[in-house]
Amino acid sequence: MQDRYGHRISYLRVSITDRCNERCSYCMPQELQEWLPRQEILTYEETLRVIRIAAVLGVSKVRITGGEPLTRRGIIDFVRRIPHIAGITSIGLSTNGTLLARTVAEGVDLGGPRLHRGEPGSPPPAMTMAEALRDAGVQSVNISLDTLDAAVYSQITGRDFHAQVLSGIDAAIAAGFAQVKLNAVLMRGRNEYQLLPLIEFAAARNLLLRFIELMPVSSTEVLSEKNFMSVTEAKRLVESAYGSLIPETEFRTNGPATYYQIPGRAQRIGFIGAMTNMHFCENCNKLRLTCDGKLRPCLGSYLEFDIMEPLRAGASDEQLKQFFLNVVERKPQEHDFRNNYQPNRKMVAIGG
């Protein structure tokens, strides 16, 4: 699939829930969140059908997100079915990490048939959520961690889950995913003094750390001069400690980050500058599926198209393919974040 501006679409971000066990100030509205009723959420079966259609049209990478995807029951069985979709070669998951270390008992929380690894008659072995996800086919996990300071973490997320996230990161490393990335949203006054500790934390665990500019996806106030820190400023701060970063123009993951090597180290770090990088949208390869069945051609645009309606009305695969192609046709050249964009849906409900 290719749009009018030459963006080749190969990547679908799939949100499976609008619910979350945290309340990050930049993602959730402060007022009480009303969750969507269950019947307004795509069933796993419906979501898999959308992924299948996308795969036929050239999508090879999917990333499961939310809300917090690990709060939705049955996620392991859902994920386990994705590698069987012809054409899908890469499966990622974005999570706040709080539930990755939780123990899940085979046959209880996981459901569905799996290989029984123990002796016949022995109790089913317990595994962590991270191991279960790895076992189900997830290759790469992105974990959000904005600070190593537990008190600041609570201020940002509204919850005291810092220790759980650190255990979740350990569980992800132990599970042996092909890649574990850490994502830190940059916030002046909250975590600029945490950039170096986060870099050292990532280095000690051999994790790929990315710094992300705050975007107006919850409310426009989060972007005030007081809160916003550009990736350029973050890079300057990092360079004042480590020396000039070495651009790694050849290195790419699926996303829009630009990567640099820290001089004298094998460590690389990434910067995602949606607000200040004028070339940010040039290589965009993404579509988003919201948990309530809207296809969004761009996070920073009001455009969204309801695929749940034709799905539930019995549309054929051919009709759904055409639906996808029409959405791609409407993909904008670039996001609208710099044009006084007023989010009408919150990040937690779109899927990050």
Ligand X SMILES: C[S@@+](CC[C@H](N)C(=O)[O-])C[C@H]1O[C@@H](n2cnc3c(N)ncnc32)[C@H](O)[C@@H]1O
Binding interface with ligand SF4 (CB under 6 A): 20, 22-24, 27-28, 66-68, 96, 144, 157, 347-348
Euclidean distance between the first and the last CA atom of the chain, given in angstroms as a whole number: 22
Partner whose binding site includes residue 28, from ligand X, ligand SF4, none (CB under 5 to 8 Å by kind) = ligand SF4
Nearer to ligand SF4 among residue 144 and residue 258 (C-beta): 144
Check: CB of residue 67 under 8 Å from CB of residue 19.
yes
Minimum CB–partner distance for residue 213 and ligand X (Å): 7
Nearer to ligand X among residue 114 and residue 159 (C-beta): 159
Minimum CB–partner distance for residue 184 and ligand X (Å): 8
Minimum CB–partner distance for residue 104 and ligand X (Å): 19
Name beta bridge partners: 115.
none
Partner whose binding site includes residue 256, from ligand X, ligand SF4, none (CB under 5 to 8 Å by kind) = none
Nearer to ligand X among residue 44 and residue 341 (C-beta): 341
Minimum CB–partner distance for residue 320 and ligand SF4 (Å): 28
**CA distance linking residue 84 with residue 52, whole number of Å:** 10
Nearer to ligand X among residue 21 and residue 43 (C-beta): 21
Question: Buried b vs exposed e over 187-208: b needs ≥16 C-beta within 10 Å?
Answer: bbebbeebbeebbebbeeeebb
Partner whose binding site includes residue 238, from ligand SF4, ligand X, none (CB under 5 to 8 Å by kind) = none
Partner whose binding site includes residue 93, from ligand X, ligand SF4, none (CB under 5 to 8 Å by kind) = none
Partner whose binding site includes residue 300, from ligand SF4, ligand X, none (CB under 5 to 8 Å by kind) = none
Question: Under the rule (CB under 6 A), what is the footprint of ligand X?
Answer: 20, 26-27, 65-66, 68, 94-96, 144, 183, 185, 212, 214-215, 217-218, 222, 347-348, 352
Minimum CB–partner distance for residue 188 and ligand SF4 (Å): 18
